[in-house]
Amino acid sequence: MSGVGLRIVLDQPEIPGNTGNIIRLAAVAGFELHIAGPTLFDFSDAKLKRAGLDYHDLAVMTEHEDLEAAYAHLGVSSNLVTPPPGTGEAAAARVFAFTGEGSTAHTDVSYRPADVLLFGRESTGLDTSVKEDPRVTGTVRIPMLPGRRSLNLANSVSIAVYEAWRQCRFNGAV
């Protein structure tokens, strides 16, 4: 059960170790994790299991054929997301696409339960069509020094998750 109500979506992740680390992160922070395929690895991959350790059973994780299937499962349509049951959240959630070309810093978003944090492939990030999709509320960036290409996917997701969770007052944490 997701204690926070926030959701992570990975669009076509490529590196099993990163995905394993994100599974563990989702478990300890209480975020739902949605993986939109296709992936370049099998979920029985030893690197994925090693990185996720024994947290696979504690994570709320759903695999989807593609991003459209993930959006359908999450109720995303026309820039509206159906809040998950039991969150008490009346307002529709938003989809935030994390990208180096984002227009808003990750700390300038006021996150709320049921929001979706969307991340792309390690090699290329999110496709332009995904970033420009009308269902995406906004593009978000994690500040970096000039001349640097990107952060590791698992690190980027961790930074975003902990900022969003902090804003939700670490709901469910001890």
Count of domains observed in the chain: 1
Q: pTM of the predicted model, to two decimals?
A: 0.87
Q: Report the CATH number that the domain containing residue 107 is assigned in CATH.
A: 3.40.1280.10
172 within domain boundaries: no
Range of 126's domain?
A: 7-167
Q: Is residue 37 within 8 Å of residue 170, measured between CB atoms?
A: no
173 within domain boundaries: no
The predicted structure's pLDDT at residue 80? 55
Rounded mean pLDDT for each run of 10 residues along the chain, 174 residues in total: 79 91 92 92 67 69 95 79 53 85 96 95 96 96 92 97 94 86
Say whether the peptide bond before residue 134 is cis (omega within 30 degrees of 0): no
49 within domain boundaries: yes
CA distance 73 to 82: 10
Q: What is the DSSP string of 78-92?
A: TTBBPPPTTS---SP
The predicted structure's pLDDT at residue 87? 52
174 within domain boundaries: no
C-alpha distance across the termini of the chain, in Å:
16
CA-CA distances (angstroms) from residue 46 to 11, 16, 17, 52, 121?
21, 8, 9, 10, 20
2 within domain boundaries: no
